[in-house]
């Protein structure tokens, strides 16, 4: 039986041809063939081993890493520490010589602060090739993006590097909240100050600190420049327990070569303590608590009793104030210049530096050096801008926050010839 033609079907085919349907169908079929050919070509071209290879996107920061990379990472850490990123103050004819802090709002030291500069650390005493203080094989503070616990963003450590093969002072940390066996010790503020007085006035003998826990970690510091930062950063740097009210003492030692003959004096300040022994003589002491006997205006009244005074005082020849040392200007009269001492070029001299903190939430210290009779540019406060005391050809990162004094880039190097941990 013959069926009549379907008018609707004929109409659809005519419309399809009119719209170019035949060409579209041919194009689609051609592209499908191309996709099938490309699929087979890709899987025949890529080796089977590469298809099965596991790609690891885990960063090397934090607490993990291959111990075989230790040496390479230590070299990288040293280069990161040495990177110079310093801002400069605008002073007539000396702007290219003087790094200083970026502008900041004047505020007392005990106010809140941003932790950007002080948390960007490049290795605070870990033992591997990561980048964080992690509980794995980290190499110190870092970004924390690896498998360990991080702290900071990976720039440098203010308390020193873990690499001993460099021209740097050797830092030994004493946790005054712990006994030598690790048990908790009930240290009081008065006890902490008396201990500092004994230590500085009785020969800087480490045996005087033997009752307290000495950290196994050593850090190596080429300069002392610590603008305001949390007091808890120091114990963390030396892998110590962090107490709510930290009490600690940190001693940096070394033997340096004088870069030139002449008469010099140290310039600095510390919160709580900054004292210096050079060539077996106490030559500097200026801070909230001063072990050589001088009590600053900001020191607690309870420490003014005669039994808390040391045997002698180190005279202060001058007090220097800077726009970026607001707290020290207000509470200590500024940074102090100690008595002069004489050196001969090329001769070796032992040096010991003590910084300490008791119960405070924040800490700061800086040590510069001034040559007697030299001409220096002036800050806008009229104080001379003197060299940073350093033992290597590197400088701190651009400082942020209070108590970050300016210093000359043309700073001589008192190169380390012997590392020391004891007197």
Which helix (H) or strand (E) segment holds residue 363: the answer is strand 362-371
* Sequence-ordered list of residues with C-beta below 8 angstroms from that of 406, at least 6 positions apart, any chain: 89, 98, 99, 100, 101, 322, 324, 379, 385
Res. 371: pLDDT tops 90:
yes
Residues in the chain: 423
- Residue scoring higher pLDDT (181 or 38): 181
In this structure, of 10-24, 28-42, 248-262, 369-383, the range with the lowest mean pLDDT score is 10-24
- Give the tens place of pLDDT for each residue, 42-51: 555 545 444 4
- Residue scoring higher pLDDT (69 or 202): 202
* Sequence-ordered list of residues with C-beta below 8 angstroms from that of 139, at least 6 positions apart, any chain: 65, 73, 74, 77, 123, 126, 127, 128, 129, 130, 131, 162
Confidence (pTM): 0.65
**Is 339 a member of any domain?**
yes
> Which residue range forms the structural domain that includes residue 287?
169-298+312-417
390-414 mean pLDDT: 92
The string of DSSP letters for 32-56 reads: HHHHHHHHHHHHHHS-HHHHHPPP-
Domain with residue 322: its CATH number is 2.60.120.380
- Give the tens place of pLDDT for each residue, 83-136: 333 333 333 334 334 555 433 333 333 333 333 333 333 333 333 333 334 333
**Is 154 a member of any domain?**
no
Which helix (H) or strand (E) segment holds residue 191: the answer is helix 189-201
Res. 417: pLDDT tops 60:
yes
**Is 267 a member of any domain?**
yes
User: What is the band of 234 on the pLDDT scale with cuts at 50, 70, 90?
Assistant: very high
| H-state helical runs in 1-123 | 7-18, 21-45, 48-52, 70-82, 116-119
Confirm if 247 and 177 have CB atoms less than 8 A apart: yes
In this structure, of 167-171, 177-181, 249-253, 294-298, the range with the lowest mean pLDDT score is 294-298
CB neighbours of residue 38 within 10 Å: 10
- Distance CA(404)–CA(384), nearest Å, equals 15
- Give the tens place of pLDDT for each residue, 351-368: 999 999 997 789 999 999
Q: Where are the beta strands (DSSP E) in 132-279?
A: 169-179, 212-214, 219-221, 225-230, 247-257, 262-271, 273-278
Res. 401: pLDDT tops 90:
no
- Distance CA(168)–CA(171), nearest Å, equals 9
Q: What is the pLDDT of residue 13?
A: 58
3-state helix, strand, coil in the chain (%, to 5): 25, 25, 55
Q: What is the pLDDT of residue 230?
A: 93
Residue found by looking up tokens 């996709």 in the block? 35
User: What is the band of 165 on the pLDDT scale with cuts at 50, 70, 90?
Assistant: confident
**Is 269 a member of any domain?**
yes
Residue found by looking up tokens 């030559």 in the block? 283
- Give the tens place of pLDDT for each residue, 261-282: 999 999 999 999 999 999 999 9
- Distance CA(336)–CA(55), nearest Å, equals 58
pLDDT above 90 covers a percentage of the chain that reads: 47
Q: What is the pLDDT of residue 17?
A: 57
pLDDT above 70 covers a percentage of the chain that reads: 61
- Distance CA(87)–CA(95), nearest Å, equals 10
Q: What is the DSSP letter of 103?
A: P
- Distance CA(102)–CA(90), nearest Å, equals 11
**Is 282 a member of any domain?**
yes
**Is 348 a member of any domain?**
yes
**Is 94 a member of any domain?**
no
Mean pLDDT, rounded, of the chain: 73
Q: What is the pLDDT of residue 338?
A: 93
**How many domains does one find in the chain?**
1
């Amino acid at each position: 039986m013959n069926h009549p033609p379907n008018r609707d079907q004929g109409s659809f085919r005519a419309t399809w041809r009119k719209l170019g349907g035949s060409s579209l169908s041919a194009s689609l079929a051609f592209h499908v063939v191309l996709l099938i050919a490309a699929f087979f070509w890709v899987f025949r071209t890529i080796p089977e081993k590469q298809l099965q290879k596991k790609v690891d996107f885990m960063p090397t920061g934090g607490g993990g890493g291959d111990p075989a990379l230790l040496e390479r990472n230590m070299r990288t850490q040293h280069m990161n520490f040495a990177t110079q990123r310093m801002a400069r103050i605008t002073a007539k004819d000396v702007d290219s010589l003087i790094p200083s802090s970026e502008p900041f709002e004047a505020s007392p030291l005990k106010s809140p602060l941003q932790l950007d500069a002080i948390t960007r650390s490049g290795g605070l005493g870990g033992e591997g090739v990561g980048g964080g203080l992690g509980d794995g094989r980290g190499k110190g503070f870092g970004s924390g993006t690896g498998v360990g616990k991080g702290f900071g963003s990976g720039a440098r450590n203010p308390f020193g590097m873990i690499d001993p093969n460099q021209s740097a002072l050797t830092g030994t940390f004493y946790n005054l909240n712990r006994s030598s066996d690790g048990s908790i010790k009930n240290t009081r503020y008065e006890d902490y100050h008396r201990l500092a007085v004994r230590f500085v006035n009785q020969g800087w003998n480490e045996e005087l600190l033997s009752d307290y826990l000495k950290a196994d970690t050593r850090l190596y510091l080429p300069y002392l420049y610590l603008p305001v930062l949390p007091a808890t950063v120091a114990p963390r740097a030396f892998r110590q327990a962090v107490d709510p009210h930290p009490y600690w003492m940190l001693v940096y030692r070394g033997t340096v070569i004088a870069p030139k003959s002449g008469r010099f004096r140290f310039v600095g300040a510390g919160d709580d303590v900054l004292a210096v022994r050079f060539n077996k003589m106490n030559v500097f002491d200026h801070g909230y608590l001063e072990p050589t006997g001088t009590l600053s205006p900001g020191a607690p009244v309870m420490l003014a009793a005669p039994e808390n005074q040391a045997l002698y005082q180190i005279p202060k020849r001058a007090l220097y104030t800077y726009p970026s040392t607001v707290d020290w200007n207000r509470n200590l009269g500024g940074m102090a210049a100690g008595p002069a001492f004489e050196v001969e070029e090329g001769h070796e001299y032992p040096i010991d530096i003590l910084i300490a903190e008791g119960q405070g939430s924040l800490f700061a210290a800086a040590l510069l050096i001034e040559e007697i009779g030299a001409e220096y540019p002036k800050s806008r406060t009229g104080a001379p801008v003197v060299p940073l005391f350093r033992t290597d050809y590197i400088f701190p990162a651009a400082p942020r926050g209070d108590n970050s004094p300016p210093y000359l880039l043309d700073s001589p190097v008192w190169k380390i010839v012997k590392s020391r941990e004891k007197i």
